[in-house]
Amino acid sequence: MEKNIIKSQNTGDSCIHVKHKSGLDIYICEMPGFSSVEALFGTKYGSINTMFKMRDDKEYTVVPEGIAHFLEHKLFENEDCDVFELYAKTGASGNAFTSFDKTCYLFSCSKNYQESLKILLDFVQKPYFTQETVDKEQGIIGQEIKMTNDNPDWRVFFNMLRCMYHTHPVKIDIAGTVESIAQIDADLLYKCYYTFYNLNNMVLSIAGNIKADEVLAICDEYLKPCEDKGLETVFPDEPDEIVMPEFFETQPVGTPIFQIGYKCRNCSGEERLRKSMAASIASSMLTDASSDMYKKLLDEGIINSSFGSEIFDGDGYFTVIFGGESKEPAKIRDAITAEINRMLKEGLNEKDFQRIKKSTYGMLVRELNNVEAVANLLINSHMDGVGPYDSLSVLSELTSNDVINFMRDELIPERLVMSVVEGEAD
């Protein structure tokens, strides 16, 4: 078992990467002087992974939507007791989440991290499902799905994704539907568990007041070797074109909320990181409070301080989203389109570009002094197929021409959609 030191050429920060004999990738960042510890044990398995096969399988297996999230809920229960009770004894705060492309189990603590790490590694490797507990969970998650279906922010987001994506499962709620989770049974949960919770498909990241040798000793004791069975996930073919340009829904909201999104072409690894950085700078220049477009829309009362942007990307999907509250979202859509056209003709203001680039770089550097942010960076970058400090080097090399090229290639009016949730008419 070899320790590889990964070091940032930009800041000098470093972490340790170990490919453990069990098959698990382990990232450790010792942060002397910090009092807390953050650990995540994650699998590259999210809501979009509904179609998969192993190396020896002849056919793909298709599973119900929402099963990754369902499995996350069930893994916290074992034969003896609830995992949260175990964490309570060590003083740690435990949690978990399922996203579109990953599931992670985590804890944070300021003492007894070794005992908490043992709990984490132990319970995630010990599935215990019965049909009785599965039936009970279907009712609980069914209620959760109904509650999120009534959430306007959730609705405006997924309505936007359904305007964009024809076949990609990113358009489906992470928790699935009441109908889809009704198809889940204990046998299916075990099948998905042993497929995706193979240590060759998982990552452990831990940062803070720790010692690498102590972490690795616990890993040697608790990790169970897994054979790499050649997991392969696949998505339906997704065209570049959008499904529809706009969608309106009525919900009990005081002020209409909107999301305006560009469907960009899919990419992966370093290419996606470069595109994400260019997209982040481009969207920031459009929504920056000092920009002419922002000031004009604010002065006219079309936007308020809720107006902002984000990059939403993963396996098979990449979008640039603008959102907020407005009674006139179509005017915002038109203003964004016009401002992009102006920038493409005139070029970026180099002074504004450098200011936003430096601000973004500073934010990334500050996060390296946050234990939770570092632990998340280590696991996320591995699952994205890039190094933990690659974003710093990519951003430092980014030019205004790179941003313009991204805008020209990807922020195309024909791939623009608008989702609005508005209140009922008086």
Residues acting as catalytic residues = 72
The residues, ordered by sequence, that sit 6+ positions from 271 with a Cβ below 8 Å of its Cβ are none
Residue 237 identity: D
**Phi, psi for 106 (deg, rounded to 5):** -145, 160
Smallest Cα–Cα separation from 17: which of 381, 400, 409?
Answer: 381
Structure tokens that stand for 20 in this block: 């453990």
* Nearest 10 degrees: Cα torsion 153, 157, 163, 168: -140
* Residue the block writes with tokens 């740690």: 92
Q: Are 404 and 348 in contact (CB under 8 A)?
A: yes
Give, in order, the Cα–Cα distances in Å from 227 to each of 60, 200, 299: 20, 8, 61
Structure tokens that stand for 333 in this block: 């859509």
**Phi, psi for 417 (deg, rounded to 5):** -130, 160
The residues, ordered by sequence, that sit 6+ positions from 222 with a Cβ below 8 Å of its Cβ are 118, 121, 122, 125
* Residue the block writes with tokens 């632990």: 375
Query: How would you label 392-411 residue by residue, b for 16+ Cβ within 10 Å and e otherwise?
Result: bebbeebebebbbebbeebb
* Nearest 10 degrees: Cα torsion 8, 14, 19, 20: -170
The CA distance from 254 to 232, in Å, is 46
Cβ of 350: how many Cβ atoms within 10 Å? 10
Cα–Cα–Cα angle for 142, 143, 147, rounded to 5 degrees: 120
Read out DSSP for 4-44?
EEEE-TTT--EEEEEE-TTS-EEEEEE-TT---EEEEEEES
